[in-house]
Amino acid sequence: MRYWSDIKNTLNDNIEVATHLLLLMLGAYVFIMAENERLLKIPILFTGLLIWFLTCKKIKHPIIWITFFVLLFIDICYSYFWVANHHFMLMFMVLAIIFFNYHKRHEVLLKNVQILLFIVVITSVFQKLMSTQFMNGNFYYYMMNRGSIFGVFFNFLPENLELIKSNSESISVLHDTNPNNAESILLKDVFSNLGLISLIFAWTTVVVEFIVAITILWKPRSNGTHLFLTMMILGILCTRLETGFMALLAICGIFLCSNFKLKLLYIIIVIGCIALMVTKLGYH
Amino acid sequence: MSNIKNEALLKYGIPSLAIITIVMQLFFVHTKNLNKWKGGGYGMYSEIHYYYNQIYIPGISVDSLVKNDADMKATLGYLMLMPNEDSLKKAAELVLQTTEKDSIHIQIWKPTVDSKNGVYSRALIDEIYLKNSDL
């Protein structure tokens, strides 16, 4: 029981917990990305880490956050169109933490995180609504028949896995032919009624993301909001191991959530995602 | 008044940067044919990944072109990510210089699928013909 109350005490300060996890996630991410533009990053990393290590208790500036921000910014400058979408979100969150270190106002930081989270989820909804390929179910149909989503589960369904392999082989054979001959192939459905399932799944995705976005904007601290957000994160993780992005969304959840059990669930998600990310089982 | 402005800047300044990034991404998607998976616009999983696009150069194997050639890999990768006139021209120029051919024809295709009947085929996004004399 004592351990349980200790854990509760540890999780009392949302900003502290979320900031620690963000720093952990940030450290893992920038070290994975460190080999890009390494010659430029070495002096920055060396100087930043040295100053942070020697002066962390005396200097008032958030040296480690600034160092990591500069590393993220270098990636943006050199690989704007290649970095993942959550690289941008991570950069904005780090910027919010750096500013928080100076203004020290909790409500400002939480507003930054809330609006950022809302923007990310609502933009994802609009991007899907604007995509005919997504809304008519063709996208999910293609992804499932190729095993590009729900891949983890297909490993336990040998018959379906065979169909996926057969589809991949057929596509590979087609790709070896001249595309100007306008040949086509018939994909084998990994499940019956996959066309309809894909259509329903596409609309469900949009509806769920829309509900999450609106509740984040409307009631950012409500248990219902965080229940929806955790379910959405877990749902996405089941679809594909987008661990880097999901860790970030869960950290946003920790910033805003006041329910102990939901906070604990977020923390489990973040740490699980980081573990999968650094071991390269999940995407960074 | 300035307090209100500062307050708004503190609360909405960083989110505004996110909105600017998204607007820029949409601009590139609609004017330069950038794939929605990239560019900071959170359009992942809304269309098929650019990785599945196919570059077709009659008489030349793309795999052999990119093998051990980082510059070629980057240029053709850029063409898959953002297939437009500029990226096609850059790719064609590099392929011409590398292969020392008189002329080159490059096409970029994307996969299309119909969930109603399961038909998978390819659709031409864009193409270029370039002669060595045009360089």
pLDDT in tens, A220-255: 999 999 999 999 999 999 999 999 999 999 999 999
Q: Give the Cα separation of A168 and A146 in Å (integer).
A: 6
Q: For residue B113, what are the β-bridge partners?
A: B120
Contact A92 B34 (CB under 8 A): no
- Asked if B103 and B127 sit in the same domain, the reply is yes
pLDDT tens by residue, B34-92: 999 999 999 999 999 999 999 999 989 999 999 888 999 999 999 999 999 999 999 99
- B85 and B125 belong to one structural domain: yes
pLDDT of residue A122: 97
Do A277 and A243 meet the contact criterion of CB atoms below 8 Å apart? yes
Instruction: From chain A, pick out residues whose CB is under 8 angstroms from the CB of B22.
Output: 119, 123
Percent of chain A at pLDDT exceeding 90 = 87
Q: List Cβ neighbours of A282 (8 Å cut-off, separation of 6 or more).
A: A241, A242, A243, A244, A273, A276
pLDDT for A1 equals 65
Q: Is B82 found in the same domain as B25?
A: no
ipTM for this model:
0.92
Pick from B46, B82, B107: CB nearest A128: B46
Select the residue of B112, B118, B122 nearest A189 (Cβ to Cβ).
B118
Alpha helices in B33-101 (DSSP H): 62-66, 70-81, 85-99
| Structural domain span for residue B11 | 1-47
- Record: contact B56-A136, CB cut-off 8 A: no
Q: Could you tell me which residues are beta bridge partners of residue B106? A: B128
Looking at the DSSP bridge assignments, the partners of residue B121 are B112
Same domain, B117 and B77: yes
Nearest to A117 by CA among A238, A243, A218: A218
What are the helix (H) ranges across chain A? Answer: 2-10, 14-33, 38-55, 63-78, 85-103, 106-129, 132-135, 138-145, 151-154, 158-175, 194-218, 223-239, 243-256, 260-278
- Chain-chain contact of A131 with B18 (C-beta, under 8 angstroms): no
**B40, B81, B107 member nearest A85 (Cβ):** B40
Give residue-wise pLDDT tens across range A188-206. 999 999 999 999 999 999 9
A27: three-class secondary structure by DSSP: helix
* Contact (CB<8Å) B118/A92: no
Contact across the interface for A195 and B82, Cβ inside 8 Å = no
Domain count for chain B, please give it.
2
- Whether residues B29 and B72 fall in one domain: no
Q: Domain check: are B41 and B55 in the same one?
A: no
Q: Phi and psi dihedrals of A24, rounded to 5? A: -65, -50
**B1 and B59 co-located in one domain:** no
Residue A68, token pair as written in the block: 């990591």
pLDDT tens digits, one per residue of A21-63:
999 999 999 999 999 999 999 999 999 999 999 987 788 899 9
| pLDDT tens column, A98-133 | 999 999 999 999 999 999 999 999 999 999 999 999
Supply the pLDDT for residue B129.
93
Q: B54 with B119, same domain?
A: yes
- Report the pLDDT value the prediction gives residue A153, as an integer from 0 to 100: 87
CA distance A137 to A165: 21
